[in-house]
Amino acid sequence: MKYFFFSLLLFTAAAQATQALTEFKSPEQRALFKELTHELRCPKCQNQNIADSNAVVAVDMRAKTLELVQQGQNKEQVLDYMKSRYGDFVHYQPPLNKFTLILWLLPALMVCGLIVLLLLRRRADRGAAATDPDDKTQSQPEQQLEQQLDQLIEQYRRKS
Amino acid sequence: MIAEYGQLALTFALCISLALAIVPLYGSFKGQQTALQLGNPLAYALFLLTAFSFWALSYAFWANDFTVVYVATNSNSLLPWYYRLTAVWGGHEGSMLLWLLTLSGWIAAVALFSRSLPLQFQGRILGVMGLVALGFYAFVLFMSNPFERSLPYFPVDGRDLNPLLQDFGMIIHPPMLYMGYVGFAVSFAFAIAALMGGKFDSTWARWARPWTLAAWLFLTLGIMLGSWWAYNELGWGGWWFWDPVENASFMPWLVGTALIHSLAVTEKRGTFKSWTVLLAIAAFSLSLLGAFLVRSGVLVSVHSFAADPSRGLYLLAFLLVVVGGSLLLYALRMNSVRSQARYELFSREVLLWGNNIFLLTATLVVLLGTLFPLVHKELGLGSISIGEPFFNQLFYYLVIPFALLLGLGPWVRWKQQQVKPLLKPMSLIAIATLILALGTLATLQSVQANLALLGLLLGAWVGSSAIFELLQRLQQFGSVKQGLTKLNASHFGMTLAHIGFAVLVIGVAMTKTYSVETQVRMKAGEQVELAGYQFRLVEVYPLDGPNYKGEAAELDVSYKGDYVTHLHAEKRFYTVQRSVMTEAAVHARLSRDLYVALGESLNDDSWALSLYVKPFVRWIWLGGLLMALGGLIALCDKRYRRRVGDQKETTELKDTTDA
Amino acid sequence: MRKLAFFIPFVLFIALSVFLFSGLFSNPMERESSVLDQPLPAFALPDLHQPEKIWTPDSIKGKPLLLNVWGTWCVTCNAELAYLTELREQGVMIVGLYYQQPVDAAFGEVFNLSALQQEVTLKLEQQGNPYQWNILDKDRTLIFDLGVTGAPETFLIDAQGIIRYHHIGDINPQVWQQKLAAAYQSLQE
């Protein structure tokens, strides 16, 4: 089992160059090509990336991506190239602008909002449980009693 | 004639659903026993009629009755019999009939298993479900009739089932999925019935919980099967695409999980009531939203059924009535319900709320990612796409705090937890986590492994915490052996489901980090090496199947010279639908999958092949399976089978750490 | 205050429904063109019937024209040929950009220019010839740079060679009246 795991490292050095369908100058280029073909969307398909689609435009986009990557362009450049021809639609990561900011902002707000909601609700629940919601001092002896009760319960459970 | 009987049965079922929608509800408001008691027989009748109708459609497929339009569009005489039967749910109309069958099944189940419910409450539940059913039966009969005939003309043979669907996964994925989606209608009905009555005692939560668990476990299985099926069928080793239809099933799952946990709080402590009710409404609403998205043509998806704007309109109107109506009822009625409870900031209540925070934010992320492009476009801002990069990024951030809380949760008691008693077990778990995670990575000798490390840490944290907590709990009964017989099923279910989640996280992280692939050209006899495995192409030969032709490739795989397995990959051309399908060869082990897909034939007698080694990918589905199994075990807890009026109504004494 | 908070889910749902409703009437695959108000991309492609003649952006500037992407393999394109020919007779200048489908070397297919020329001539004789001339985009380079995803698609280009309109789909009387006619007329001035 261990030896299997060792060999996972070997993949980058694996001698497949003579038989690979496409040649890359470096494993980084190969990885970039794979990343790009998974992040670029086929503009004519029913929601597929260009790696998975066989539509003519997807094949053309793949060929072009290959060409640009082999020329040494980076991810930014290839994406810009594609977007300037096919629009933002063709990248599966939405652009970051003041309209799309909401995509990241709303979830963050939700987390904060739900935390606040918990604190408010806890106060309301606690208030409803006590006879006088605004009188905090009254809850003290109640709390002590509850703590004693909890301790008794704990002892009882340990014994049983 | 059978098809006509099927349609007739469906028509009767529509009338029954109308009666079911009106009679028990009327009885519940007027206090009329007979009306209330009619609920059960109506429910059973609905199911029997629908089952007959479904059988009739299946028969039409079996018998190759191409005068029925739906059969002609989705089947073919060359199709093997088992696919002819599953083709029943291969298209929109038939899948809606499956939806009806599932819905009537759940309604009948509620009628059957609710002896301990007060009759008035049960009547309302059946009534609400009857209303939902009414909308769907009308939809199918008037807008998506599977029994339509094309007589006097009819095709000699059918257009065949989409080859993508001709797979074992197709046989079982949709039924499981629908059992889940539709099953949330039960907890929805519980919530609405309770809103109608205005009473929300903790027994309400105890009754609702097993139904929610059941729906949830089916949905878990359904989603896992879909993922496994895509992996096997689509030919490039992917198992989740964040496709709108997948998202449509994921959202109810996320909310359903939050609901189960919120129900725990309401059941045990009588608080979070308004939240639980809202979640119950939301889970089913998301199921309905999913049905709308998939069938209306609003979103682009490889999965969507043929779009029809008029169907979309109906479904949207239905959505407005059901969801809008229930949210309005919620707003008007929930206000008068007050919860009372005290709990410290460090308590199980708060941790379960934490669970909800991240599950619901995840739901929001999926909802945004799925629907924001539509909103963006309708606002005139242009077309954008939201896909994998966005979802992966946000889920990466959300899963970390979620898993951390999950590891802590089972240790924390209701109401109040002192930190000191937890220090020792938590430190032990932390140590175990580090050992397991770093140890696994050390054997991999991996340097660039951020995602894998994170996944291993989180998974080990959750998994070892669950196991330690269970052991500690068992020991409290005197000895582990004694504990095994005494500890309630809920607790075992919880532990198993949490372990399942840990396994899933590890699977996802490891497979994403360490999967390798290569696309090569090979002639017979040649060999390629990938990740220590030698793949040798033995031969490629032509195929002749029942409704397809193509090529098959045979490969021998060795690992460092030792023979591992023989692989058989195919490329099929389905003659009727004229589409090409790749049947990938998969050799599955828990540690890794070997995956080979046969590509194009190249001009010098060589073939294009895609080879993959995917470590830990089985853990993903194993994790889902364990979660579903955990849900099943929790369902079997004795307390759900206790009748009303039995002794020992409570539990605050015994179960300070219980699920 | 608490009372109002319970209405939030309802309000949010109604807001969502509004978008779902409007989504029912729009085409989710519809995409705006990324090349509007930009000059024609650089290209140097041969004429389909006279391959020695090379067309460039400069050589087709001068008059507003419709650049129509089409192919004999495309059924919809064949259907619009008749109406486009009518437009030609009315004085609209139309240039064809021939979309050559990929040739699959793996199956031993080769690109045969003379066969293609004969096919095109035959088709245009049958359906009508709207084209002043046809540019052959054998490797779909200009087609790619224009952001074309299929055929038929048509570009309205003004006298300075700036792309003014990108229409996806066939051109029929309604499309012409509602979308393109006015734009074309205004460019004439």
pLDDT tens digits, residue range B563-610?
999 999 999 888 877 778 888 899 999 999 999 999 888 777 888 899
Inter-residue contact B190 to B148 (CB < 8 Å): no
Asked if B520 lies within 8 A of A100 by C-beta distance, the reply is: no
Residue B190 within any structural domain of the chain: no
Question: Would the pLDDT of B45 be above 80?
Answer: yes
Inter-residue contact B237 to B364 (CB < 8 Å): no
In the predicted model, what is the mean pLDDT of residues B160-185? Answer: 88
Inter-residue contact B612 to B596 (CB < 8 Å): yes
Highest mean pLDDT among B208-222, B327-341, C23-37: B208-222
Residue B536 within any structural domain of the chain: yes
Q: Please give the pLDDT value at position B96.
A: 95
User: With an 8 Å Cβ cutoff, is B324 touching chain C?
Assistant: yes
Q: How many CA atoms lie within 13 A of B11 on its CB side?
A: 8
Asked if C6 lies within 8 A of B335 by C-beta distance, the reply is: yes
In the predicted model, what is the mean pLDDT of residues B498-527? Answer: 92
Q: Please give the pLDDT value at position C107.
A: 56
Q: Residue B80's closest CA among B3, B156, B154, B168? A: B168
Q: Which residues of B touch C21 (CB under 8 A)?
A: 316
Out of A64, A85, A124, the one facing C147 most closely (by C-beta) is: A85
Residue B336: which residues within 8 A CB-CB, separation 6 or more? B198
Average model confidence (pLDDT) across chain A: 80
Helix boundaries (H) for B379-417 = 388-408
Among the listed ranges A15-24, B416-425, C132-141, which one has the minimum average pLDDT value?
A15-24
- List C residues 28-67 in contact with B (Cβ-Cβ < 8 A): 28-32
Q: Please give the pLDDT value at position A25.
A: 87
Q: Please give the pLDDT value at position A159.
A: 59
User: With an 8 Å Cβ cutoff, is C91 touching chain B?
Assistant: no
User: With an 8 Å Cβ cutoff, is B298 touching chain C?
Assistant: yes
Residue B72, token pair as written in the block: 């002609």
Q: Please give the pLDDT value at position B171.
A: 87
Residue C103 within any structural domain of the chain: yes
Which of A12, A21, A91, A158 to probe by mutation at the B interface, max B CB count within 10 Å? A21
Q: Which residues of A touch B343 (CB under 8 A)?
A: 122, 125-126
Asked if B378 lies within 8 A of C22 by C-beta distance, the reply is: yes
Neighbours of chain C (3+ CB pairs under 8 A): A, B
B254 vs B287: CA distance, rounded Å: 11
Out of B282, B316, B600, the one facing C17 most closely (by C-beta) is: B316
Q: Which residues of C touch A124 (CB under 8 A)?
A: 2
pLDDT digits (tens, 9 = 90+) for B61-115: 999 999 999 999 888 888 888 888 889 998 899 999 999 999 999 999 999 998 8
In the predicted model, what is the mean pLDDT of residues B622-650? Answer: 78
Among the listed ranges A87-96, A98-107, C108-117, which one has the minimum average pLDDT value?
C108-117
Asked if C150 lies within 8 A of A56 by C-beta distance, the reply is: yes
* Res. C2 pLDDT band, cuts 50 70 90: confident
Residue B335, token pair as written in the block: 């206000």
Residue of A nearest to C31 (CA): A89
Q: Which amino acid is at B6?
A: G
In the predicted model, what is the mean pLDDT of residues C22-42? Answer: 87
User: With an 8 Å Cβ cutoff, is C110 touching chain B?
Assistant: no
Strand partners for C155: C67, C166
User: With an 8 Å Cβ cutoff, is A157 touching chain B?
Assistant: yes
C186 vs B594: CA distance, rounded Å: 63
B603 vs B298: CA distance, rounded Å: 43
E-assigned strand segments in C4-84: 45-46, 54-55, 65-70
Question: Would the pLDDT of A5 be above 80?
Answer: no
Asked if C24 lies within 8 A of B330 by C-beta distance, the reply is: no
Average model confidence (pLDDT) across chain B: 89
Q: Please give the pLDDT value at position C103.
A: 80
Q: Count interface pairs B-C at CB distance under 8 A.
A: 76
In the predicted model, what is the mean pLDDT of residues B603-626? Answer: 91
Q: Please give the pLDDT value at position B658.
A: 52
CA distance B88 to chain A (A): 24
Chain centroid, CA B449 distance in Å:
30
Asked if A86 lies within 8 A of C101 by C-beta distance, the reply is: no
- Count of domains observed in chain C: 1
B616 vs B611: CA distance, rounded Å: 16
Asked if C147 lies within 8 A of A86 by C-beta distance, the reply is: yes
* Res. A140 pLDDT band, cuts 50 70 90: low
CA distance A69 to chain B (A): 17
Q: Which residues of C touch B324 (CB under 8 A)?
A: 10, 13-14, 17
- Count of domains observed in chain B: 1
Using DSSP, state whether B173 is helix, strand or coil: helix
Q: Please give the pLDDT value at position A151.
A: 77
Residue B70: which residues within 8 A CB-CB, separation 6 or more? B57, B91, B93, B94, B146, B147, B148
* Res. B444 pLDDT band, cuts 50 70 90: confident
Residue B642 within any structural domain of the chain: no
Helix boundaries (H) for B270-308 = 273-296
**CB-CB neighbours of B609 under 10 Å:** 26
Percent of chain B exceeding pLDDT 90 equals 59
CA distance B374 to chain A (A): 12
Among the listed ranges A10-24, B32-46, B257-271, which one has the minimum average pLDDT value?
A10-24
Q: Which amino acid is at A57?
A: V
Inter-residue contact B616 to B511 (CB < 8 Å): yes
Question: Would the pLDDT of B654 be above 80?
Answer: no
CA distance B580 to chain C (A): 16
Residue B192: which residues within 8 A CB-CB, separation 6 or more? B124, B128, B281, B326, B329
CA distance A10 to chain C (A): 32
pLDDT digits (tens, 9 = 90+) for B464-482: 999 999 999 998 888 888 8
A130 vs A120: CA distance, rounded Å: 16
Q: Which residues of C touch B285 (CB under 8 A)?
A: 13
Q: Please give the pLDDT value at position A8.
A: 42
CA distance A160 to chain C (A): 45
Q: HEC string of B325-382?
A: HHHHHHHHHHHHCCCCCCCCCCCHHHHHHHHHHHHHHHHHHHHHHHHHHHHHHHCCCC
Inter-residue contact A129 to B340 (CB < 8 Å): yes
Q: How far is CA B141 from CA A45, B128, C167, in A?
A: 32, 20, 40
Q: Residue B51's closest CA among B1, B100, B113? A: B100
Report the run of H or E that residue B613 belongs to, with start and end: strand B607-615
B581 vs B233: CA distance, rounded Å: 8
Neighbours of chain B (3+ CB pairs under 8 A): A, C
Asked if C145 lies within 8 A of A87 by C-beta distance, the reply is: no
B205 vs B202: CA distance, rounded Å: 5
Q: Please give the pLDDT value at position B262.
A: 95
Q: How many CA atoms lie within 13 A of B167 on its CB side?
A: 23
- What are residue B200's phi and psi, to 5 degrees? -135, 60
In the predicted model, what is the mean pLDDT of residues C109-135? Answer: 90
Among the listed ranges A12-26, B258-272, B591-605, which one has the minimum average pLDDT value?
A12-26
Write out the residue range of the structural domain in which residue B545 sits.
516-617
Q: Please give the pLDDT value at position B160.
A: 80
Q: Which residues of B touch C3 (CB under 8 A)?
A: 335
Asked if C20 lies within 8 A of B382 by C-beta distance, the reply is: no
Residue B549 within any structural domain of the chain: yes
> At C83, which CATH number?
3.40.30.10
Inter-residue contact B197 to B121 (CB < 8 Å): yes
Among the listed ranges B17-21, B210-214, B341-345, which one has the minimum average pLDDT value?
B341-345
In the predicted model, what is the mean pLDDT of residues B625-647? Answer: 81
pLDDT digits (tens, 9 = 90+) for C51-85: 999 999 998 888 899 999 999 999 999 999 999 99
B385 vs B392: CA distance, rounded Å: 14
Report the run of H or E that residue A76 belongs to, with start and end: helix A75-86
Q: Which residues of B touch C25 (CB under 8 A)?
A: 309
Instruction: Return the ∠ at Cα B507 (arms to B504 and B510), rounded to 5°.
Output: 145
Write out the residue range of the structural domain in which residue C144 sits.
36-188
Residue B201 within any structural domain of the chain: no
Regarding beta strands C54-55 and B533-544, do their DSSP bridges make them parallel or antiparallel, or are they unpaired? Answer: unpaired
Using DSSP, state whether C144 is helix, strand or coil: helix
What is the value of pTM for the model shown? Answer: 0.90
Please give the full DSSP string across B535-565, using - where no structure is assigned: EEEEEEEEEE-SSEEEEEEEEEEEETTEEEE
Q: Which residues of C touch B292 (CB under 8 A)?
A: 20
Regarding beta strands C65-70 and C94-99, do their DSSP bridges make them parallel or antiparallel, or are they unpaired? Answer: parallel
- List C residues 133-172 in contact with B (Cβ-Cβ < 8 A): none
Regarding beta strands C163-168 and C65-70, do their DSSP bridges make them parallel or antiparallel, or are they unpaired? Answer: unpaired
Inter-residue contact A111 to B357 (CB < 8 Å): yes
Inter-residue contact C128 to C94 (CB < 8 Å): no
Residue C28 within any structural domain of the chain: no
Question: Would the pLDDT of A3 be above 80?
Answer: no
Residue C177 within any structural domain of the chain: yes
CA distance C29 to chain A (A): 8
Which of B342, B416, B536 to probe by mutation at the A interface, max A CB count within 10 Å? B342
Q: Please give the pLDDT value at position C184.
A: 86
Q: Please give the pLDDT value at position B649.
A: 42
pLDDT digits (tens, 9 = 90+) for A34-62: 999 999 999 988 889 998 888 899 999 99
Residue C11 within any structural domain of the chain: no
**CB-CB neighbours of B2 under 10 Å:** 17
Which of B296, B374, B598 to probe by mutation at the C interface, max C CB count within 10 Å? B374
Q: Looking at this predicted complex, what is its ipTM?
A: 0.88
Which of A50, A57, A67, A116 to probe by mutation at the C interface, max C CB count within 10 Å? A57
B322 vs B320: CA distance, rounded Å: 6
Asked if A14 lies within 8 A of B518 by C-beta distance, the reply is: yes
Q: Please give the pLDDT value at position A132.
A: 41
Q: How many CA atoms lie within 13 A of C145 on its CB side?
A: 14
Question: Would the pLDDT of A125 be above 80?
Answer: no
Residue B539 within any structural domain of the chain: yes
